[in-house]
Structure 1
Amino acid sequence: MGKLIYAANISLDGYLEDETGSFDWSVPDEEVHAFWNEHERHIGTSLYGRRMYETMRVWEDDDWLTDEPAVVREYARIWRDADKVVYSSTLDEVSTARTRIERTFDPEAVRWLKDTSEADLSIGGVSIGAEAFRHGLVDECVLLLCPVTVGGGKPALPRGLRLDLELLDHGRFRNGVIYLRHAVRNAT
């Protein structure tokens, strides 16, 4: 049985993106990238909303990776090896391997996927992540708090939902980013 893990880089004031849709303030350095590589290595399936998928599909293309550091090229290989489910009512087709489209988020189908998976699953994207939290599907949160406040934008965690969490692990990177890993005890 796999755990569903919500993982994200977030601003200190709790946003995934600023008010302009930018997240350039969360671009990882080599140490943080290595952390994400190790985290993603244990993920068998990634669940994405359309916008998150469109952001992540850059990892399918080798052209831009040629001059990138080894840690970045390694992430591309890890990302390609995982299955991907994209929840979208508007996307007609996918442009990446090991990827399928689901038109609606079906909580029971996600429960089945968790129950039958030999590896953990990740979920990314504001709307789809909020749905998973609301249906009690998220088992853990892995958040990297970036040393920046952006003043507004897309909140990293769902509004109007209480999450009781238990700290499982934490750490600090040299660039000031803080790592937090929590178990989700319940959502109300």
Structure 2
Amino acid sequence: MAKLIYVTNVSIDGYIEDEKGVFAWLPPDDEVFTFTTDLLRSAGTFLYGRRLYESMAVWETDASLAARSDLMAEFASVWQVADKIVYSTTLTTTATARTSVERRFDPAAVRRLKATAGSDITIGGADLAAQAIRAGLVDECQLIVWPTTVGGGKPGLPTGVRTDYEFLGERRFRNGVVLLRYRPLAD
């Protein structure tokens, strides 16, 4: 069975974006970028909320990104070969190949996907991940913690939900970023 892995960048104070909805506070870094590319390479399907999908679609729709460096070209290639499922009540078409739209998050459908997938699945977007966490579907959280605080905004993990986690490991990067890996404990 494939694992459903929630991967997100967060500030030290736990936010994925600031109060203005901006997540551009993340400084670019080749080491972290390469790690993220390798992490996504291991997944065959990406589950996205609409906003995250629209920000990631540029890796297929804007060829100038891949032309900037070999690292960016590799990331674009990895992103493009994966299947994408976008959960949106407003999106009617997608700008990228290998992409489908679902109107609502269906835990039973995600369970079936996990049971039949040949490789792991990542989920991105705090609101979508919160639904999966509440449904008990997330097998691992990988938090890429950046050395900054933003003071408020959208939290990376759901509020109002109690979940205990087992620590799986960490990885430290030269720029002060730390990857923290956790597995939710069964109720």
Shorter chain as normaliser: what TM range? over 0.9
Does the aligned pair in 1 maintain the 2:61–2:95 contact within 8 Å? no
Question: After the TM superposition, which segments of 4 or more aligned residues of structure 1 sit over 4 Å from their partners?
Answer: none
Q: Residue 143 and residue 66 in structure 1: after superposition, are their counterparts in 2 closer, same or farther (change >3 A)?
A: closer
* Structure 2 partner of 1:34: 34
**1: CA distance, partners of 2:12 / 2:186:** 23
**2: CA distance, partners of 1:56 / 1:66:** 13
Q: Residue 28 and residue 139 in structure 1: after superposition, are their counterparts in 2 closer, same or farther (change >3 A)?
A: farther
Gaps of 5+ in 2: none
Residue deviations 1:75-120 (CA, integer Å, cap 9, x gap): 1000001000000111010110000000111000000000111100
Where does 1:69-108 land on structure 2 (aligned, <5 Å)? 69-108=69-108
Residue deviations 1:145-182 (CA, integer Å, cap 9, x gap): 10000000000000011121111110110100011111
Aligned length: 187
Q: Residue 61 and residue 166 in structure 1: after superposition, are their counterparts in 2 closer, same or farther (change >3 A)?
A: same
Does the aligned pair in 1 maintain the 2:145–2:177 contact within 8 Å? yes
Instruction: Give, in angstroms, the shift of residue 127 of structure 1.
Output: 1.1
The amino acid across from 1:132 in the alignment is A
**1: CA distance, partners of 2:178 / 2:71:** 20
SS at match of 1:68: coil
Instruction: Give, in angstroms, the shift of residue 22 of structure 1.
Output: 0.9
The amino acid across from 1:99 in the alignment is T
**1: CA distance, partners of 2:28 / 2:4:** 23
Instruction: Give, in angstroms, the shift of residue 53 of structure 1.
Output: 0.6
**2: CA distance, partners of 1:107 / 1:28:** 34
SS at match of 2:10: strand
* Structure 2 partner of 1:168: 168
What percent identity do the matched residue pairs reach?
53
Q: Residue 185 and residue 66 in structure 1: after superposition, are their counterparts in 2 closer, same or farther (change >3 A)?
A: closer
Over aligned residue pairs, what C-alpha RMSD do you find? 1.1
**2: CA distance, partners of 1:12 / 1:121:** 25
The amino acid across from 2:101 in the alignment is I
**2: CA distance, partners of 1:67 / 1:83:** 23
**2: CA distance, partners of 1:2 / 1:110:** 11
SS at match of 2:138: coil
Instruction: Give, in angstroms, the shift of residue 63 of structure 1.
Output: 2.7
* Structure 2 partner of 1:184: 184
Q: Residue 66 and residue 51 in structure 1: after superposition, are their counterparts in 2 closer, same or farther (change >3 A)?
A: closer
**2: CA distance, partners of 1:155 / 1:134:** 15
SS at match of 1:169: strand
SS at match of 1:180: strand
* Structure 2 partner of 1:136: 136
